[in-house]
Amino acid sequence: QVTGIIVTGTINREKYGINFNQALETGGVMLGKDVKFEASAEFSISE
């Protein structure tokens, strides 16, 4: 038997102390505050 799970979400990187950023020559900044992520895992049960 195999079971799988997929988790997706968005976090604000500044809430975790990741404050690095760099201004671009064309204006704006290199990184946004929100980081999207997706993780997947599969588990098999052996008897």
Beta bridge partners of 42: 4
Q: pLDDT band at residue 40, thresholds of 50, 70 and 90?
A: very high
Beta-strand ranges (E) seen in the chain are 2-12, 34-44
Domain count, the chain: 1
pLDDT at residue 41, rounded to an integer? 98
pLDDT score recorded for residue 21: 78
> Which of the 8 DSSP states describes residue 24?
-
What type of residue is 24? L
- Work out the mean pLDDT of the chain and round it to a whole number: 89
Provide the residue range defining the domain that includes 28. 2-44
* Rg, Å, the chain Cα set: 18
pTM of this prediction? 0.55
